[in-house]
Amino acid sequence: MRVFLFLLAILNVVCSVSVAAQERPDWGSVFEKYNVQGTIVVVDGRGEEQQVLVFNQERADKQFSPASTFKIPHTLFALDAGVVRDEFQVFEWDGVERSFSGHNSDQDLRSAMRNSAVWVYQHFAERIGNENAQNYIESIGYGNSEYDVEGDYWLDGTLTISAHEQISFLKRLYLNALPFAVEHQRLVKDVMIVEAGRNWILRAKTGWEGSFGWWVGWVEWPSGPVFFALNIDTPNRMDDLAKREQITREILQSMNALPNQ
């Protein structure tokens, strides 16, 4: 009974959507430190009551292309459609030299997620098909309601999502509450692991469209998860990419939501 009540409490904390967001203007100093414009939403589920913390609420409500953060749901689609069997299946490199060196080799599911190998997911999209992709997106209520599923629609198409909506999706994945096999949801969470300690796990995914970038995910603690979704402008393109993690880590560390490394 105690285990049931504990799980029920976690479920209530994680799924609560009625908590008003608390503005954190002090986090603006972190964005200023790195000389970027952006937003971050942090949902802290470690206490009895969930806390929703946000810097730049207006931007947190604005929808952007998901870019490579879409690899999280896209992997679920590929697993459900049988396009990929498991994390051990190897996808042979086509020999085309790409700008990111990590893309220029054979990939499996784990490396494709870690390296954000676009060509692997282009292969998935082709095998899944546009109609099935649209059905999958609608089944999880992902992002905006009007979009075209054509080409690399998650990179340069009309599919968009906000920082708040990113976290809403991640919460359901955390709970294995998406309309996919539980083993597939667990596998996706496994390949999202960035780092871990004795009593915490960081699961996350970057995204970059060219003019803006994402870092979304959560930190798991015994007391509950801390979700985050950061979106920043990247006027200096690749020179700005490291700032996605730097800003997020600094803010999470200030909350004791992520250990100092």
Among all residues, which ones are annotated catalytic? 68
Tell me how far the alpha carbon of residue 232 is from its chain's centroid. 14
Q: Tell the residue number behind the tokens 């060219």, with chain if given.
A: 210
Rg (CA), the chain: 18
Q: Label residue 128 exposed, middle or buried (CB < 10 Å: 0-12, 13-18, 19+).
A: buried
Q: Which residues contact 173 (CB under 8 A, 6 or more apart)?
A: 72, 185, 188, 189
Are the C-beta atoms of residues 34 and 251 closer than 8 Å to each other? no
Where b means 16+ CB within 10 Å and e means fewer, 41-60 reads bbbbbbeeebbbbbbbbebb
Largest CA distance in the chain: 57
Reduced 3-state DSSP string for 216-244: EEEEEECCEEEEEEEEEECCCHHHHCHHH
Helical packing angle, 118-128 and 130-140, nearest 10°: 100
